[in-house]
């Protein structure tokens, strides 16, 4: 009897080590890609975007979820950095401030070339991974950042934007946000206006991924039915498990399945448990549910690190038992990466600017690697004027893959972002009003 009491803890320890070793083996061979990180917003609020401030050094940055050692600790191979500006900048200085946040992302790559490389397609992601650097992509969080201008949309694309969230927590003149579903905002576009449809079509043509986090259910459905390319929810969870309107309901998950789209699960407790606390087990429940309804290829991680307000995940090791009929395990499993053949949305007619058809890079994982999470700190709404220093290169030594504290492995579909030809050329005027008319 006493031998058995001593034996079980030893077996558990050995088993845990085995799972961790297997997870690290998987992550060394498969890029870990996270869909949403608000570190650029933290750099604005903490350091006024002065990256040369000694305290802003990303190798030793404190009081944030994200820094270079943590990214390496989690084998992070790719990160969508959020270029975010608050809703109160809409119809004011949203475009300028979005440009400044994109500038911060580019300067991160310039100042830390051994850690980051800014990329715009799946080829760049794979190259960065083999070089031991974090492939850094730009996601613009909020349609108000384009100021109802297709010209601005195209300009942000040329500056590296590879996804655009159609709304933040406010309506744009052409798309409705999630607060419409709570009754806090009124529907203005009934999903998408005619100009909103033009935005979706132009994003398809350019090869910009459409992000439906933060939008209303009507906007989700209208976009999924209109878009010729898969879309993503960069940081949302399953509504059936947590009735928060930022989450994705099952009928929309069915459309996600039909369109080969992607839901990247958020770790914010309000979206995971709808309570003050949440556990990794509950996160896994969301992953399982989305996998069940939308398919394994529809599941990803969008941690929202440095973007939400509370400690959301307890530190614990989770292993699902076979009786639960799930292939998700936080520290075990298999991942394979495949490249689907290129698939153009339209191959006829002129294309402006000329660009090859997009292709889809798929990463299918039936297990997830994870570690402890830090506490989430609040996203403040304040903004300060600032001057941006010139970039300064700073080497960081070895770029070999090492390890991260966040559960960021991805089972996902990722667009290559290389552009899609439309059968209609872009309007020559560049600037359109909200009705789609050339100004």
Burial 341-363 (b: 16+ CB within 10 A, else e): eeebbeeeeebeeeeebbbbbbb
Q: Which pLDDT score, from 0 to 100, does residue 30 have?
A: 75
φ, ψ dihedrals at 46, nearest 5°: -90, -35
Q: Which pLDDT score, from 0 to 100, does residue 15 have?
A: 56
Catalytic annotation on 106?
no
3-state secondary structure of 343: coil
Angle at 250 between CA 248 and CA 252, to 5 degrees: 65
Of these residues, 214, 244, 289, 417, which one is catalytic?
A: 214
Catalytic annotation on 168?
yes
Of these residues, 235, 286, 289, 417, which one is catalytic?
A: 235
Q: Which pLDDT score, from 0 to 100, does residue 203 have?
A: 98
Domain 32-301 has CATH 2.60.120.10: no
Of these residues, 38, 270, 285, 288, which one is catalytic?
A: 38
Q: What is the DSSP string of 299-342?
A: EEE---BTSSSS--B--------GGG-----TT---EEEEEPPP
Mean pLDDT for each consecutive 10-residue tract of the chain (439 residues)?
50 60 76 90 97 96 94 90 98 98 98 97 89 96 98 98 98 98 98 98 97 98 97 97 98 97 93 90 92 93 85 44 34 24 32 27 27 27 28 31 30 34 35 38
Instruction: Note the pTM of the prediction, 2 decimals.
Output: 0.75
Q: Are 246 and 271 in contact (CB under 8 A)?
A: yes
Of these residues, 65, 144, 168, 244, which one is catalytic?
A: 168
Catalytic annotation on 214?
yes
Q: Which pLDDT score, from 0 to 100, does residue 131 have?
A: 93
Q: Which pLDDT score, from 0 to 100, does residue 417 have?
A: 32
DSSP 177: B
Of these residues, 34, 288, 304, 306, which one is catalytic?
A: 304
Distances (CA, A) of 283 to 41, 62, 139, 254: 25, 26, 23, 20
Q: Are 428 and 148 in contact (CB under 8 A)?
A: no
Catalytic annotation on 131?
no
Q: How far apart are CA 420 and CA 63, in angstroms?
A: 41
Q: Which pLDDT score, from 0 to 100, does residue 102 have?
A: 98
Q: Which pLDDT score, from 0 to 100, does residue 9 have?
A: 53
Q: Which pLDDT score, from 0 to 100, does residue 4 have?
A: 52
Q: Which pLDDT score, from 0 to 100, does residue 256 have?
A: 98
Of these residues, 34, 36, 144, 202, which one is catalytic?
A: 36
Catalytic annotation on 435?
no
């Amino acid at each position: 009897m006493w031998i058995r009491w001593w034996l079980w803890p030893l077996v558990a320890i050995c088993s845990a080590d085995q799972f961790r070793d297997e997870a690290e083996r998987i992550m060394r061979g498969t890029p870990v890609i996270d869909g949403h990180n608000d570190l650029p917003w933290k750099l604005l609020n903490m350091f006024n975007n002065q990256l040369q401030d000694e305290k802003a050094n990303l190798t030793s940055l404190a009081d944030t979820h994200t820094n270079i050692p943590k990214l390496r600790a989690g084998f992070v191979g790719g990160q969508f950095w959020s270029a975010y500006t608050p809703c109160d900048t809409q119809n004011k200085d949203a475009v300028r401030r979005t440009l400044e946040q994109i500038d911060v992302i580019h300067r991160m790559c310039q100042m830390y070339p051994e850690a980051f490389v800014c990329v715009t397609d799946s080829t760049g992601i794979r190259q960065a991974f083999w070089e031991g650097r974090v492939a850094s992509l730009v996601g613009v969080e909020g349609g108000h950042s384009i100021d109802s201008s297709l010209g601005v949309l195209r300009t942000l694309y040329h500056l590296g934007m590879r996804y655009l969230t159609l709304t933040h927590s406010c309506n744009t003149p052409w798309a409705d946000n999630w607060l419409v579903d709570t009754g806090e905002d009124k529907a203005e576009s009934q999903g998408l206006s005619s100009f909103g449809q033009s935005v979706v079509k132009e994003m398809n043509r350019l090869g910009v991924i459409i992000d439906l986090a933060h939008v209303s259910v009507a906007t989700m459905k209208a976009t999924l039915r209109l878009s010729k390319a898969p879309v993503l929810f960069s940081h949302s969870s399953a509504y059936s498990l947590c009735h928060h309107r930022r989450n994705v309901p099952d009928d929309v998950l069915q459309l996600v399945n039909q369109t080969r789209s992607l839901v990247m699960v958020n770790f914010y407790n309000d979206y995971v448990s709808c309570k003050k606390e949440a556990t990794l087990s509950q996160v896994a429940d969301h992953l399982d549910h989305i996998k069940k309804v939308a398919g394994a290829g529809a599941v990803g991680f969008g941690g929202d690190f440095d973007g939400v307000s509370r400690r959301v995940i307890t530190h614990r090791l989770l292993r699902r038992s076979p009786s639960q009929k799930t292939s998700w395990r936080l520290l075990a499993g298999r991942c394979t990466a495949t490249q689907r053949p290129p698939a153009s949305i339209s191959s006829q007619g002129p294309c402006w600017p000329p660009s090859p058809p997009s292709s889809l890079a798929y990463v299918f994982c039936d297990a997830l690697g994870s570690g402890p999470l830090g506490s989430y700190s609040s996203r403040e709404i304040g903004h300060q004027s600032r001057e941006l220093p010139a970039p300064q290169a700073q080497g960081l030594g070895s770029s070999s893959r090492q390890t991260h504290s966040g559960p960021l492995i991805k089972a996902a579909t990722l667009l290559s972002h290389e552009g899609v030809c439309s059968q209609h050329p872009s309007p020559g005027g560049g600037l359109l009003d909200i009705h789609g008319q050339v100004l």
